Amino acid sequence: MNVLFLSPGYPSEMVWFAEGLAAVGARVFGVGEAPVATLPERARRALTAYHQVPSLWDEDRAVAEIVREAKGKGVRFDRVESPWEPMVLLAARLREALGVPGMTVAQTVPFRDKEVMKQVLDAAGIRTPRHARCRTADEIRAAAQHVGFPLIVKPIAGAGSADTHRVDDVAQLETVIALTQHVPEVSVEEFIEGEEFTFDTICAGGRIAYDNICWYRPRPLLARTLQWVSPQTMALRDVDAPKLAGGRAMGHAVIEALRYTSGYTHMEWFLKPDGEVVFGEIGCRPPGARTVDIMNYACDFDAYRGWAEAVCYQRFSQPIERRYNAATVFKRAQGEGRISRIEGLQSLLHRYGPHIVQVELLPVGAHRRNWKATLMSDGHLIVRHPDLATCCEIADRVGTDLQMYAS
Ligand SMILES: Nc1ncnc2c1ncn2[C@@H]1O[C@H](COP(=O)(O)OP(=O)(O)OP(=O)(O)O)[C@@H](O)[C@H]1O
Ligand SMILES: [Mg+2]
């Protein structure tokens, strides 16, 4: 099993997927922009070979170069994989160019283009927000009339809530038109009030082998607007809860409509106060910001290896026992510059002991990260508990009682 794996050293999570592939016996051929010597040691150990390319972003050039290299070395690939969102189309193009089975370009586009995505799902009868694709200011104004206020303006191929704005009236619309001028194409969407959840899967051979639902506390747009918030992503133990049934059923219908074959998917959906379920978006990659880790902490299995087995051999053989709710709590320091002190950690560890399973905070002296640019912010804790209310309480305590300061 020869797997061509794009960008094994960046972002840092990619290393764990590369290790998953090696662990199930695949030979992993890495391709990336970084010189081999700068790859993390663990990535290098997982790889059979590595080829450096000048750019993965210039897709035409990358495809030509990788095909030439593969032919030159006489290597035949069985899979092309990348769990990193910006690489999923390049992976599909490479499959086609190299004659490798898996998701094609046509199958991948609906996961990347938020308008094509919603058109395919509308045709399948799935409830999406009213929507329109816009390239010019006038198209945005016209779409606003059709969609109505409040609405949301966001990039067609966005990530991390970047350039995403809620708009309540005509005056705000003009402000947002000015703010998004650098975005070539936007989606204008009906604004959906309510709670936000994920529906994540590992598919194997065209069927869902494992699914997961996370609850965002609070909703991401709010988390991204208010710096004092410690955003939580909570993997829910009881995915059979009646409250989640509509979203889970929608998730299954979406996977079927998009004819997804093998690997991760990451869908987001809304639950309105009146109980209606509305589709948000879907990617053909794992959720980021350590969400695969909370899946692991929720089930005590290895979802990196599970993914690798699914893409290589179309099966998921680890038992799925949902033992815990597990939450990542992201922290943002008060003040700018370097982290100067961290308060409250010891008493939290003392109080909640075994329920705090991971602590990864920036150390004193480190420069703060840009909390708008990365959900990872200034670090995170992972907590878990079999009981949801207790897990929420612990996660909330991490939000309030752990404080980081910068100066
Ligand atoms: N139609 C909508 N109604 C209400 N809120 C929305 C809508 N579309 C987007 N949002 C808010 O903006 C956030 C980001 O939007 P979306 O998930 O579509 O973009 P993204 O940048 O790809 O996301 P991610 O942060 O998951 O990478 C959503 O999680 C949600 O909070
Ligand atoms: Mg999103």
Identify the CATH number of the domain in which residue 93 sits.
3.40.50.20
Q: Does 71 have pLDDT greater than 80?
A: yes
Give yes or no for a contact between 160 and 375, defined as CB atoms under 8 angstroms apart.
yes
pLDDT(160) > 80? no
Residues 124, 82: one domain?
no
Cβ within 8 Å of residue 58, ≥6 positions away: none
User: Are residues 386 and 266 located together in one domain of the fold?
Assistant: no
Which ligand sits nearest to residue 159's alpha carbon? 1
**Domain final residue, candidates 190, 215, 239:** 190
Mean pLDDT of 13-25: 97
Residue nearest to atom 2 of ligand 1 (CA): 191
- Confidence band of 26 (pLDDT split at 50, 70, 90): very high
> Best mutation site among 165, 200, 216, 221 for ligand 1, i.e. most ligand atoms within 8 A of its Cβ?
221
Mean pLDDT score, 358-385: 95
Instruction: Please check whether residues 299 and 339 belong to one and the same domain.
Output: no
Q: At what angle do helices 303-313 and 14-23 cross, to 10 degrees?
A: 60
Whether residue 297 is found in the same domain as residue 372: no
Whether residue 69 is found in the same domain as residue 183: no
Residue 158, pLDDT > 80, answer no
Q: Give the CATH number for residue 331.
A: 3.30.470.20
CA distance 98 to 78: 9
DSSP string, 49-114: EEEE-S-SSSHHHHHHHHHHHHHHHT---SEEE--SGGGHHHHHHHHHHHT--S--HHHHHHHH-H
Which ligand gives the minimal distance to the CA of 154?
1
Q: Which residues line ligand 1 (CB under 6 A)?
A: 129, 152, 154, 158-162, 164, 189-192, 196, 219-221, 268, 280-281
Query: Which of 114, 133, 161 to mutate for ligand 1's pocket (most ligand atoms within 8 Å of CB)?
Result: 161
Co-location of 227 and 110 in the same domain: yes
Q: How far is the CA of 221 from the centre of ligand 1 (A)?
A: 7
Ligand nearest to the backbone CA of 86? 1
* Predicted local confidence at residue 163, as pLDDT: 86
For atom 24 of ligand 1, which residue has the closest CA?
160
The last residue of one of the domains, among 276, 293, 323, is 323
Same domain for 308 and 201, yes or no, is: yes
161, pLDDT greater than 90:
no
Residue carrying structure tokens 């094509």: 116
Confidence tier at 162 by pLDDT (50, 70, 90): confident
Which residues fall within 8 angstroms of residue 13, CB to CB, at 6 or more apart?
83, 286, 288, 290, 292
Residue among 233, 268, 291 whose CB has most ligand 1 atoms within 8 A, to mutate: 268
What domain range includes position 57? 2-102
Torsion of CA 168, 172, 178, 184, to 10 degrees: 10
pLDDT tier at 306, thresholds 50, 70, 90 = very high
Q: Show Cβ contacts of residue 134 under 8 Å, excluding neighbours closer than 6 positions.
A: 140, 142, 143, 185, 186, 187, 188
**Taking the mean position of all CA atoms in its chain, how far away is CA 147?**
27
Model pTM score: 0.95
Do residues 110 and 98 make contact, with C-beta atoms less than 8 angstroms apart? no
Mean pLDDT for all residues in the chain: 96
Best probe residue, ligand 1, of 154, 190, 264, 271 (max atoms within 8 Å of C-beta): 154
Task: Judge contact between 186 and 140, C-beta under 8 A.
Answer: yes
pLDDT in tens, 312-353: 999 999 999 999 999 999 999 999 999 999 999 999 999 998
The tally of domains found in the chain comes to 4
In this structure, the residue with its CA closest to atom 22 of ligand 1 is 159
Residues 246 and 331 in one domain: no
Residue nearest to atom 26 of ligand 1 (CA): 160
**Do 69 and 20 fall within a single domain?**
yes
Cα of 225 to ligand 2 centre, how many Å? Answer: 15
- pLDDT tier at 5 (50, 70, 90 boundaries)? very high
Average confidence (pLDDT) over 212-220: 97
Rounded-to-integer distance, Cα 188 and Cα 147, Å:
8
Closest residue by CA, ligand 1 atom 20: 159
159, pLDDT greater than 80: no
**Per-residue pLDDT averaged across 393-400, rounded?**
98
For the segment 112-151, what is each residue's pLDDT rounded down to a tens digit?
998 999 999 999 999 999 999 999 999 999 999 999 999 9
Instruction: Give CA–CA dist 214/244, Å, rounded.
Output: 10
Q: What is the mean pLDDT of residues 382-394?
A: 98
Distances (CA, A) of 298 to 195, 207, 370, 394: 21, 22, 29, 15
Phi and psi torsions of 368, nearest 5° = -60, 150
CATH number at 148 reads: 3.30.1490.20
Which atom of ligand 1 lies closest to the CA of 131?
1
Judgement on whether residues 304 and 370 belong to the same structural domain of the protein: no
DSSP one-letter string for 206-218: TEEEEEE-EEEES
Ligand 1 atom closest to 193 (CA): 4
The answer on 216 and 319 residing in a single domain is yes
From residue 176, how far is each of 167, 365, 370 by CA, in Å?
8, 37, 22
Contacts of 41 (CB under 8 A, 6+ apart): none
163 and 202 inside one domain: no
